[in-house]
Amino acid sequence: MATTHHVSNTQVHYKWNRDLPPVVEIDPGDTVIFDTPEITLNQITKNSTVDAIANLDFGLIHQISGPVAIRGAEPGDTVVVNIVEVKPKEWGWTAIIPGFNLLAEDEAFQTPYLKIWELTKGNIAEFKPGIEIPFEPFCGVMGLAMAEPGEHTTVPPSRVGGNIDIRQLTSGSTLRMPVAVPGALFSCGDCHAAQGDGEVCGTGIEVEALVTLLFDLIKGEDIPELRFHRPGNMTASWNDKGWECRTAHGPDLWTLTQQATRYTIDYLVKEHGLTQHEAFALCSVAMDLKISQVVDAPNWIVTSCLPLGIFVG
């Protein structure tokens, strides 16, 4: 009979390590409810000011829940994660951390910014009067232990997952992950109430959340990297007011993502009266970056797409 397990907000770790003991061992078909904590270990609270950003201890950031061992999982198998629900708690935050964002080299973003969100008014959070962000909550981190021994940072993703920030992995989606070590050793966290494709300022709406996942195991299915299925629309299914888009062209995709983002920041400053910090943060939680073409050498096109449904009234 399938069982439901619970992982508390104190059952966390800060590095991927194949030798970590699991906090719980489950069978395929079981469900786990993770009480995922705020990722800075309460260095940021709902009462914080921007001074908290300047004093962050990065050694305490990115705590993730787990690991969970799946009985019978071996290298060469696939773990299936059915995302049942990601439920944010009462508040969240978005920050611009100097040196840690897409536009870290820009003079405008050498100073920090912090937005505290109130998340108790249904499934919408107010950015400012007239600007609201609907929730599409997901886990920024979902991953398995890597095959390589020792400790590994949780910041970059890998072939077995990690800090993937795929905002389409919301309730109803199914993620498949290649197993690299016995037991698989799954962990998750870094939950977001909302985020645009790109997470350009380095953060989405960062939240504590209750994450309900149902696990399965496919023996002998050896996939090279993550793959997922999402029902319904891929981007801003709530948006019915159209999109404001900016394009950038050139031979380097990284530079193009920066320039397309700058163009949307300029639009928000000029047309909606936001500060540059506010505009950059809003881009991070609502704007999608898209690769429009990579076949017409020597120049490619990246497009920044802002859903106009965030503007209300």
Of 236, 68, 271, 45, which Cα lies nearest the Cα of 161?
68
Q: How confident is the model at residue 238 (pLDDT cuts 50, 70, 90)?
A: confident
Q: Mean pLDDT across the stretch 209-213?
A: 98
Q: How confident is the model at residue 234 (pLDDT cuts 50, 70, 90)?
A: confident
d(CA 192, CA 190): 7
Asked whether the predicted pLDDT for residue 1 surpasses 90, the reply is no
The pLDDT assigned to 184 comes to 98
Of residues 232 and 67, more confidence is placed in: 67
Asked whether the predicted pLDDT for residue 162 surpasses 80, the reply is yes
Q: Mean pLDDT across the stretch 103-117?
A: 97
Asked whether the predicted pLDDT for residue 247 surpasses 80, the reply is yes
pTM above 0.85, yes or no: yes
Domains and CATH numbers, the chain: 4-229 (2.60.120.580), 243-310 (3.10.28.20)
Count of beta carbons in the 10 Å neighbourhood of residue 301: 17
d(CA 245, CA 307): 9
d(CA 174, CA 138): 12
Which residues are paired to 152 by β-bridges? 16
Of 253, 171, 164, which Cα lies nearest the Cα of 209?
171
The pLDDT assigned to 233 comes to 85
d(CA 86, CA 175): 14
Per residue in 171-196, pLDDT tens?
999 999 999 999 999 999 999 999 99
The pLDDT assigned to 206 comes to 98
Q: How confident is the model at residue 54 (pLDDT cuts 50, 70, 90)?
A: confident
Asked whether the predicted pLDDT for residue 236 surpasses 80, the reply is no
Per residue in 268-306, pLDDT tens?
999 999 999 999 999 999 999 999 999 999 999 999 999
